[in-house]
Amino acid sequence: MSSNLFFPFSYSPWLAKRLPGSLKETSATCQNCAMVKPTGLTRDKGPFKNHLKCCTYFPYVPNFSLGAINEKKVNQSLDRGVLLPVGLFPTAKHQNRVDQLGKKAFGQKEELLCPFFSQQENQCSIWEERPGVCATYFCKSDHAKKGLEFWADVEKYLNHFEWELARAVIFELGMSENEIAYCQGAVSPETEEEERDFFLQAAWGKWLNQKHHFFVETRKVALNFSSTQIEKLLGPDFLSLEKKLLNFFTLA
Ligand code: SF4
Ligand code: SF4
């Protein structure tokens, strides 16, 4: 990796003007993964296996990004994932397995490999649409601890942006807080297995058999959001985090 945007490329319509610039990171040598033999200050302890790297993770992918990813590719994630109006989540069963295996399995267990990781190319197959959690993962930083803290703040900002925009677009498409609650019910570890289908159907309503079409619509709706609407979604706390991120270079 060399110069890195502060967001996945596919978020440019909303964030290119808000978070301009890039940060050089040469220590995270992804083609020859730096975590196979970790040295110096690293975000995780490691070591990682070279054919798994930091992609032993099932990320949340927001609805408006799913609308830009090939449907077949999205569906390949469904052995361990579940599609909901707000986006793609790991199933409760998979999440339970992740929790069982614990932190030491990160970078080590093939069964945890992200469904979007191309084993043939040994890299992400949805690079431009990968979510914020992935775009901000640097196992080590050229800027040492300050750099790792900076990326952790960017991750926080992008998580908030993704969730708020994903919610806002489904409201524009006629859904409400009820559907959000049904989405939560579908993946919550507290839900009884026999109730999951109910939550799934209630969350999707009339879109149940047209999920990809729905995601394409969410992207169109999201692209129509003005910068004032995005500012409102971010809210005062995240606008102030945004300022902090933009000040990083003067403080570094
Ligand atoms: S960011 Fe991930 S793939 Fe890149 S060097 Fe670090 S652990 Fe390896
Ligand atoms: S989306 Fe891409 S970068 Fe993120 S975990 Fe999956 S394969 Fe890795």
Q: Give the tens place of pLDDT for each residue, 120-143.
A: 999 999 999 999 999 999 999 999
Ligand 1 site, residue 135, Cβ cutoff 6 A? no
Q: What is the pLDDT of residues 24-43, one digit of tens each?
A: 999 999 999 999 999 999 99
Range 90-94 average pLDDT: 98
How is residue 115 written in tokens?
């469904």
Look at residue 84 in the predicted model and tell me its pLDDT.
98
Look at residue 114 in the predicted model and tell me its pLDDT.
98
Look at residue 250 in the predicted model and tell me its pLDDT.
59
Which CA distances in Å does 72 have to 77, 78, 171, 212?
A: 9, 10, 26, 10
- 243-249 long-range contacts (CB < 8 A, ≥24 apart) are 244/153, 245/6, 245/19, 245/150, 245/153, 245/154, 245/157, 246/19, 246/21, 248/23, 248/150, 249/21
Nearest-Å Rg of the Cα atoms of the chain is 18
Ligand closest to the CA atom of residue 80: 2
Range 40-67 average pLDDT: 98
Helix (H, G, I), strand (E, B) or coil at 62: strand
How is residue 88 written in tokens?
């793609």
Neighbours of 19 (CB within 10 A): 20
Mutate to test the pocket of ligand 1, among 35, 55, 108, 155 (most ligand atoms within 8 A of CB): 35
Structurally, how many domains does the chain consist of? 1
Ligand 2 site, residue 115, Cβ cutoff 6 A? no
Tell me which amino acid residue 19 is: L
Ligand 2 site, residue 38, Cβ cutoff 6 A? no
Look at residue 116 in the predicted model and tell me its pLDDT.
98
Ligand closest to the CA atom of residue 151: 1
Domain range for 130 is 3-251
Ligand 2 site, residue 130, Cβ cutoff 6 A? yes
In the 8-state DSSP scheme, what is residue 147? H
Atom of ligand 1 nearest to the CA of 30: 4
Q: Could you please report the per-residue DSSP string of 148-186?
A: HHHHHHHHHHHHHHHHHHHHHHHHHTT--HHHHHHHHHH
Atom 8 (ligand 2) nearest CA: 55
Sign of CA dihedral 195, 196, 199, 200: negative
Ligand closest to the CA atom of residue 117: 2
Q: What is the pLDDT of residues 138-178, one digit of tens each?
A: 999 999 999 999 999 999 999 999 999 999 999 999 999 99
pLDDT at position 7 over 60 = yes
Atom of ligand 1 nearest to the CA of 27: 5
Look at residue 148 in the predicted model and tell me its pLDDT.
97
Say how far apart CA 75 and CA 72 lie, in whole Å: 5
Say how far apart CA 74 and CA 63 lie, in whole Å: 11
Q: What is the pLDDT of residues 179-230, one digit of tens each?
A: 999 999 999 999 999 999 999 999 999 999 999 999 999 999 999 999 999 9
Q: 63 CA to middle of ligand 2, Å?
A: 16
Ligand 1 site, residue 139, Cβ cutoff 6 A? yes
Q: 116 CA to middle of ligand 2, Å?
A: 6
Look at residue 88 in the predicted model and tell me its pLDDT.
98
pLDDT at position 248 over 80 = yes
Q: 244 CA to middle of ligand 2, Å?
A: 27
How is residue 154 written in tokens?
């960017």
Ligand 1 site, residue 54, Cβ cutoff 6 A? yes
Say how far apart CA 184 and CA 238 lie, in whole Å: 24
The end-to-end CA distance of the chain, in Å, is: 20
pLDDT at position 251 over 70 = no
Look at residue 119 in the predicted model and tell me its pLDDT.
96
How is residue 85 written in tokens?
């109006």
Ligand 1 site, residue 106, Cβ cutoff 6 A? no
